[in-house]
Amino acid sequence: MEAELWWFIGTVTCLKVLLHPSYRSTDYDVHRHWLALTSSLPPSKWYTDESSPHTLDYPPLFAAFEYLLSLPASLLVPSAVDLRPPKPSSAVDPVVLFQRSTVALSDLLLFLGVHLSTRKMAEIGRRRVVYLLIVWSPALLMVDHVHFQYNGFLLGILLVSLACLEKGRDLMGGFIFAALICFKHLFAVAAPVYFVYLLRHYCRGGLKRGLLRFVAMGVVVGVVFAASFGPFLYYGQMQQVLRRLFPFGRGLCHAYWAPNFWVFYIIIDKVVAFLLAKLGFSVTESAASFTGGLVGESSTFSVLPQVTPIVTFLLVMVAISPCLWKAWRNPQPKHIIRWVAYAYTCGFLFGWHVHEKASLHFVIPLGLVAINSLEDARHYFVLSIVSCYSLFPLLFESQEYPIKVLLLVTHSTLMWMGFNSLHFRKETNLKRSDENRLIGWVGMMYLLGMLIVEIWGQFLHPFILGDRLPFLPLMLVSVYCAIGMMYSWIWQLRWIIKSN
pLDDT reported for residue 208: 86
pLDDT for residue 303: 87
Rounded to 5°, the CA angle 380-386-392 comes to 140
pLDDT at 52 over 50: yes
In eight-state DSSP terms, residue 150 is -
How sure is the predictor about 436, in pLDDT bands with cuts at 50, 70 and 90? low
For range 172-198, the mean pLDDT: 97
Tell me what pLDDT residue 430 has: 47
Non-local CB neighbours of 96 within 8 Å, separated by 6+ positions = 20, 24, 28, 88, 90
Comparing 104-113, 194-203, 226-235, 434-443, which segment has the lowest mean pLDDT?
434-443
Residue type at 314? L
How far apart are the C-alpha atoms of 500 and 496, rounded to whole Å?
8
Nearest Cα neighbor of 362 from 462, 209, 257, 484 is 484
- Whole-angstrom Cα distance, residue 137 to residue 15? 12
Cβ contact 262:252 at 8 Å: yes
Mean pLDDT of 92-118: 94
**Selected residue with higher pLDDT from 275 and 225:** 225
Assign 330 to helix, strand or coil: coil
The three-state secondary structure class of 458 is helix
How deeply is 363 buried, as exposed, middle or buried, from its count of CB atoms within 10 A (0-12, 13-18, 19+)? Answer: buried
Question: Directed axis angle between helix 108-118 and helix 151-166, to 10°?
Answer: 20
Residues 298 and 289: beta-carbon distance below 8 Å: yes
* Cα gap 489→419, rounded to integer Å: 21
Percent of the chain's residues with pLDDT above 90: 70
pLDDT digits (tens, 9 = 90+) for 4-34: 899 999 999 999 999 998 888 889 999 999 9
Specify the pLDDT at position 280: 80
Residue 93 CA to residue 87 CA, distance in Å, equals 10
* Per-residue pLDDT at 433 exceeds 60: no
Mean pLDDT of 433-458: 86
Going from the C-alpha of 140 to that of each of 62, 407, 408, 475, the distances in angstroms are 19, 11, 11, 23
pLDDT above 90: residue 277: no
| pLDDT higher than threshold 60 for residue 431 | no
Segment 142-158 mean pLDDT: 96
Assess contact for 37 and 47: CB atoms under 8 A: no
Q: Are strands 297-298 and 253-254 parallel, antiparallel or unpaired?
A: antiparallel
pLDDT in tens, 348-378: 999 999 999 999 999 999 999 999 999 999 9
User: What confidence tens digit (pLDDT) does each residue in 471-500 have?
Assistant: 889 999 999 999 999 999 999 999 999 987
Highest-confidence segment of 24-28, 171-175, 437-441:
171-175
Mean pLDDT, residues 76-81 taken together: 90
Q: Which pLDDT score, from 0 to 100, does residue 90 have?
A: 62
pLDDT of residue 438: 86
**Using CA atoms, how far apart are residues 63 and 65, in angstroms rounded to an integer?**
5
Mean pLDDT of 342-348: 98
